[in-house]
Amino acid sequence: MNLAQIHNVYFIGIGGIGMSALARYFAFIEKSVAGYDRTETPLTKELVAAGMEIHYEDNVALVPDKYLNSAHTLVVYTPAVPSQHTEYQYFLANNFDIKKRSAVLGLITKDSFCFAVAGTHGKTTTSSILAHLLKESGVSLTAFLGGISEDFNSNFLLEGTEFSVVEADEFDRSFMQLSPNVACVTSMDADHLDIYGNAGELEKTFIDFTKRIKQGGKLFVRNGLPLQGYTYGIEDDSDYCIRNITIERGTYIFDLETPDATLKGVEFNKPGRHNLLNGLVAFAMAMESGSPPHRLAKALATFKGVQRRFSYQLKNEEFVFIDDYAHHPTEINAVFEAISEMHPHKKVLAIFQPHLYSRTRDFVDDFAKSLSRFTNILLLDIYPAREEAIPGVDSQWLLSKITSGNKALISKEQIIPRIKAENPDVLVTMGAGDIGLEIVKIKKEMSYAI
């Protein structure tokens, strides 16, 4: 791909969080950008406001004329787009330069010093912390994030090209398109079994990804994973380790040990031990930029967070509302433990929207076990995303396996009335589907109610 010859970039699935970051990049370097997505969202509205042309019907006739010139148009698509998609088939049949999002990301970052964050959980938070640390250290970087950073109010940051920060996504083996200088692996729990078939194949692919690190590069791995690299952990024998944790006014305060020194009294504001680990590995990776450790520690204390990652929507003495992207049993466990640590002895109401029929089927017993930790749990119907329904796999089936004393399957229209009826001290919404679109409504109604 020769960017100098590309005048137009057309995205099939432009509203995806990773795709939209690439769209912002191409617009920033003054390419014409347009695209298709299935539905209009707040994110697509932002892209339109930034000057991009977007339509919501799979129809070649709606593609602006200048993007139909194959000599000067790059077509970028996400693997979530079905192969029978009409526009995709048109571009394929007419010999356009068509590339997956991951391939484009690999090409853009190959000439920079690339930091890649991999793992079945924690990618977005870790990469956002890393980008924040590097920015606060004054280095020249570009960051492509899988969520909206509350520090940048965007999923894209461009303040130079010496360093790049990317998420190394295991879905569809996308991370095999990257060749990072420094990488981390936060977790390797079974997921995306519709792609990999079994946990062993997923683990093997993570190992293959680590072999793509450039010669002389470094790998950081959470202590206990079956990978060779610099380890990180909490109160253990890791190369990078957090010790002596206390909590003051909702803030973690701890000592941070590196192979060369110990930093005392480091602060971090995001709840949950999983977030502490994300912060720790981001710190370890950022040190590879040459930034002073004390400056990085100071920046760690100012990290605001990522939208939909244990994000406080309302927080006062009477009521706390937390929203999280959790869509895997391990992530639900992490949310439960963070709430228990930060808000002990409170009445908690959890609302969960399962994501994908295949994931629900493959992990139904694990989901039931994780969700049963909440005394009060409400389920929404499964969000299908790219999938067709699977007979017998639905939220009622999952609900039947949950052992919580107070559980129910509800519609979106019932969300606010049920919250008011339950009158919780702490409300948490979880899921990777369109439950995120309900947050503004809940926040507005509960602001009036308290």
Residues 80 and 123 in one domain: no
Q: Is 198 helix (H, G, I), strand (E, B) or coil?
A: coil
Residues 167 and 247 in one domain: yes
At 250 the pLDDT is: 83
Rounded to an integer, what distance in angstroms lies between the CA atom of residue 262 and that of residue 239?
11
Q: Is the pLDDT of residue 450 over 60?
A: no
Domain membership of residue 37 (yes or no) is yes
Q: Is the pLDDT of residue 197 over 80?
A: no
With a pLDDT cut of 90, the percent of the chain lying above it is 84
Domain membership of residue 13 (yes or no) is yes
Inter-residue contact 257 to 232 (CB < 8 Å): no
Q: Which residues pair with 167 in a beta bridge?
A: 117
Of 58-62, 278-282, 385-389, which range is least confident? 385-389
126 assigned to a ligand binding site: no
Helices 123-136 and 293-300: crossing angle in degrees, nearest 10, is 120
- For position 76, which CATH number holds? 3.40.50.720
At 173 the pLDDT is: 81
Residue 171 buriedness (CB in 10 A; 0-12 / 13-18 / 19+) = middle
Six-digit token string for 372: 């049963």
State the Cα torsion 31-11-101-94 to the nearest 10°. -100
Q: Is the pLDDT of residue 198 over 90?
A: no
Domain boundary among 300, 326, 343: 300
122 assigned to a ligand binding site: yes
- Contacts with 85 (C-beta within 8 Å, 6 or more apart), sequence order: 12, 58
Q: Is 392 helix (H, G, I), strand (E, B) or coil?
A: coil
Name the helix (H) or strand (E) containing 314.
strand 311-315
Q: How confident is the model at residue 249 (pLDDT cuts 50, 70, 90)?
A: confident
305 assigned to a ligand binding site: no
Q: Note the maximum CA span of the chain.
A: 63
Rounded to an integer, what distance in angstroms lies between the CA atom of residue 120 and that of residue 278?
13
Q: How confident is the model at residue 278 (pLDDT cuts 50, 70, 90)?
A: very high
Residues 439 and 315 in one domain: yes
Residues 85 and 227 in one domain: no
For residue 125, the enclosing domain spans: 110-300
Rounded to an integer, what distance in angstroms lies between the CA atom of residue 150 and that of residue 306?
5
- For position 389, which CATH number holds? 3.90.190.20
Inter-residue contact 255 to 262 (CB < 8 Å): yes
Q: Is the pLDDT of residue 334 over 60?
A: yes
Residues 86 and 192 in one domain: no
Q: Which residues pair with 97 in a beta bridge?
A: 74
Q: Is 378 helix (H, G, I), strand (E, B) or coil?
A: strand
Domain membership of residue 305 (yes or no) is no
Instruction: Give 3 or 272, the one with higher predicted confidence.
Output: 272
Residues 94 and 166 in one domain: no
The residue count of the chain comes to 450
Mean pLDDT of all residues belonging to the chain = 94
Residues 120 and 83 in one domain: no
At 202 the pLDDT is: 85
Q: Is the pLDDT of residue 159 over 70?
A: yes
Q: Is the pLDDT of residue 177 over 60?
A: yes
Domain membership of residue 105 (yes or no) is no
Residues 272 and 148 in one domain: yes
73 assigned to a ligand binding site: no
At 145 the pLDDT is: 95
Domain boundary among 300, 320, 354: 300
Rounded to an integer, what distance in angstroms lies between the CA atom of residue 423 and that of residue 419?
6
Domain boundary among 281, 300, 319: 300
Inter-residue contact 214 to 180 (CB < 8 Å): yes
Strands 320-324, 426-430: pairing kind: parallel
CA atoms within 13 A of residue 383's CA, in its CB half-sphere: 16
Among candidate residues 173, 182, 54, 56, the one with its CA nearest the CA of residue 116: 182
Q: What is the pLDDT of residues 36-64, one digit of tens each?
A: 999 998 899 999 999 999 999 999 999 99
Q: What is the mean pLDDT of residues 182-192?
A: 86
At 391 the pLDDT is: 97
125 assigned to a ligand binding site: yes
Q: What is the mean pLDDT of residues 298-305?
A: 96
Domain membership of residue 306 (yes or no) is no
This prediction's pTM:
0.87
Six-digit token string for 68: 């139909």
- For position 210, which CATH number holds? 3.40.1190.10
Residues 80 and 165 in one domain: no
Q: What is the pLDDT of residues 346-367, one digit of tens each?
A: 999 999 999 999 999 999 999 9
123 assigned to a ligand binding site: yes
Q: What is the pLDDT of residues 87-118, one digit of tens each?
A: 999 999 999 999 998 889 988 998 899 999 99
Q: What is the pLDDT of residues 119-150, one digit of tens each?
A: 999 999 999 999 999 999 999 999 999 999 99
At 351 the pLDDT is: 98
Residues 92 and 117 in one domain: no
Instruction: Give 126 or 70, the one with higher predicted confidence.
Output: 126
Q: What is the mean pLDDT of residues 250-278?
A: 95
At 193 the pLDDT is: 62
Total tally of structural domains belonging to the chain? 3
At 192 the pLDDT is: 63
Inter-residue contact 323 to 339 (CB < 8 Å): no
Tell me the residue type at 324: D
At 111 the pLDDT is: 87
Domain membership of residue 228 (yes or no) is yes
Q: Cα dist. 70→60, 64, 346, 373 in Å?
A: 14, 13, 59, 54
Residues 154 and 274 in one domain: yes
Residues 339 and 408 in one domain: yes
Phi, psi for residue 381 in degrees, rounded to 5: -65, 155
Q: Is the pLDDT of residue 65 over 80?
A: yes
211 assigned to a ligand binding site: no
Inter-residue contact 269 to 250 (CB < 8 Å): yes
Angle at 292 between CA 243 and CA 251, to 5 degrees: 40
Within 13-112, strands assigned E span 32-36, 53-55, 73-77, 97-100
Domain membership of residue 22 (yes or no) is yes
At 5 the pLDDT is: 83
Of 17-21, 64-68, 230-234, 446-450, which range is least confident? 446-450
Angle at 10 between CA 14 and CA 309, to 5 degrees: 20
Count CB-CB contacts under 10 A for residue 208. 12
